[in-house]
Structure 1
Amino acid sequence: MIATSRAWALRAGPGRTNPILPCSRTPQLLHEVRCGTTKTSKRWNASHPPPVGQKPPVSATTIPGPSWLWLEPIYEPFRAYGRVQRRRPYMTQFISSLVIYLVGDFVAQSIGPPAVTEDEEEDEKGWLQAWATERDWARTGRALLIGGAAAVPGYKWFLWLSNSFNYSSKTLSLVTKVTVSQLLFTPLFNTYFFAAQSLLTGMSIPDTIERVKKTVPVSWVNSCKVWPAITAFSFAFIPIEYRSIFGGVIAIGWQTYLSLLNQRAAAEEERGHSLEEAKSHPARRREEDRATGEEKCAA
């Protein structure tokens, strides 16, 4: 007759090499085998390796699918920017601001009338030389100086704004942030931009004040059509390390608009000065004629 423990080993099935256990636990093991609650029956034999899942084919990483792996080359530059932004935020903001103002100034000069000299033929130049000749590099230098000086203060402002006005209601927090930014930051920044443009071109303080009066109200009204929605979307959905690059893409178009508005105001001021000079010429001629007549009478 087969021993009870040996009979249990045969019931466990072929391929099992379970040792013969003491007879004191035989009734308990028989009960576990009948009820299907034994733990040893769920173990794998050490001689047989556990099942291993199959790896996906290599082509799965290159074919568009639900995981959007084909967008990885687009995501990687933004991830790299986020890593650099977390390590060196001030330097990243400074360089980003220079790039934004440079591109904005180039776009504004491309839209506006080019400064082409009349004594040179465009056919004799290459496209790069013609492009470089048409650029007003002094204007570009002013834009880079203004943008670089405002990079870190602007970053600190939005960093403070993101950490402030955080109420229990997300809607109230978002509305407060957008309102504070639109009422404080936008008019101050536009005043700084137009005043710096005027002063760097050599204008006097009274003329600079007149430039600010003409441009800041118009720019603030137009900013209310664009920036509240962009600011709300940025605070609601964009992580803090990517907000600057998100706003920077929009700011390229905004800086183009501010540059065009500044040039338009400068052109109007030049026309006003030319009209004043034209009106003053007849009076000067009459005074000169009167002075020459008096000299003749005295002679």
Structure 2
Amino acid sequence: MAAFAKAYQPSLLTIQSSFNRRPNITLSLTNGTLSALADSIAQSINPELDENSEKLWNKRRTVNFFIFGAAMGTPLNYWNKFLERAFPLRRAGALPNSPISLRMLFTRVGVDQAVMAPSGLTAFIGIIGILEGKTSRDLKNKYSDLFVPAILANWKVWPLIQLFNFRFCPLAFRVPFTASCGVLWTLYLSNLNSKKGPTEVPAPVTNKKTPTKHQWEQKPTGVYSKAELVGVAR
């Protein structure tokens, strides 16, 4: 840690100074920029293709991720301040190099994962969905498709990251640290969000005939789309 701090001391001092003067703006811009970077990396790895199989960069999607990351900067700042006050690692008046309370450290991580992890994921699905123009029904379906796999993946990774974060990082660097680690996490969320869930029903094609009852009986199970199933039911 000492070697890292010495190598990046000018940058760290700049961040600390900016945080002291404008904490919310600093954290919002940092978080938004890193979220946009993560989505750009995600699109370069798994690009969208046009009808000619040419790679496309969805600029609107990257902007959406910047907006989401920036919007979360201030809430994360206040959340970290709350954890610092509610679960102090050292007693008031203790020396900086005095032993910390491991019980408080693990409690802080547990509260963070029990409250902020699901809240942040819900905010991600909601904010990104609204920016994409999703309806309330689309948002409900998206939530049903994404929340459980994403929160389970979160709990496999983030407790260890937050243990390190709360133990070693000063308050000013906790959001930038998680945002930096979150590049890979946002990469995962970006790819997860871009996938069509099983609840998304494709728009009906006007020149496609609904199968007759005889055709339905002959067609293998699972071949028809949900739109066709609705047509058969009617």
State the TM bucket, normalised to the shorter chain. Answer: 0.7 to 0.9
- Classify the secondary structure of the residue corresponding to 1:203: coil
Between the aligned partners of 1:107 and 1:273, the Cα distance in structure 2 is: 30
* Residue 226, structure 1, aligned to residue 157, structure 2: yes
* Residue 192, structure 1, aligned to residue 123, structure 2: yes
Between the aligned partners of 1:270 and 1:205, the Cα distance in structure 2 is: 13
Structure 1 residue 105 displacement after superposition: 1.0
Match of 1:89 in 2: 23
- C-alpha change, 1:118 and 1:88, in structure 2 (3 Å) is same
Match of 2:8 in 1: 74
Between the aligned partners of 1:236 and 1:106, the Cα distance in structure 2 is: 31
Match of 2:215 in 1: none
The code of the aligned residue for 2:26 comes to: T
Q: Which has the higher contact order (CA 8 A, sep 6+)?
A: 2
Q: Give CA-to-partner distance per residue, 1:147-187, whole Å, 9 cap, x none.
A: 22221111111111122122666111101100100000000
Between the aligned partners of 2:133 and 2:5, the Cα distance in structure 1 is: 49
The code of the aligned residue for 2:18 comes to: V
Match of 2:169 in 1: 238
The code of the aligned residue for 2:73 comes to: A
Match of 2:227 in 1: 277
**Is the 8 Å Cα contact of residues 122 and 147 (structure 2) preserved in structure 1?**
yes
Q: Within 5 Å, which residues of 2 pair with 1:60-209?
A: 74-116=8-50, 118=52, 134-166=56-88, 170-209=101-140
**Is the 8 Å Cα contact of residues 64 and 128 (structure 2) preserved in structure 1?**
yes
- Classify the secondary structure of the residue corresponding to 2:49: coil
Between the aligned partners of 1:84 and 1:276, the Cα distance in structure 2 is: 53
**Is the 8 Å Cα contact of residues 85 and 92 (structure 1) preserved in structure 2?**
yes
Task: State the aligned residue count.
Answer: 204
Q: Could you tell me the TM-score, scaled by structure 1's length?
A: 0.61
Structure 1 residue 235 displacement after superposition: 1.2
Between the aligned partners of 1:153 and 1:260, the Cα distance in structure 2 is: 24
The code of the aligned residue for 1:139 comes to: R
Instruction: Extract unaligned runs of 5+ from structure 1.
Output: 1-66, 123-132, 288-299
1:247 to 162, 168, 178: 178
Q: State which drifts further: 108-117 or 240-249.
A: 108-117
Structure 1 residue 190 displacement after superposition: 0.3
Identity among equivalent pairs (%): 24
Between the aligned partners of 1:105 and 1:156, the Cα distance in structure 2 is: 25
Structure 1 residue 145 displacement after superposition: 1.9
Larger radius of gyration: 1
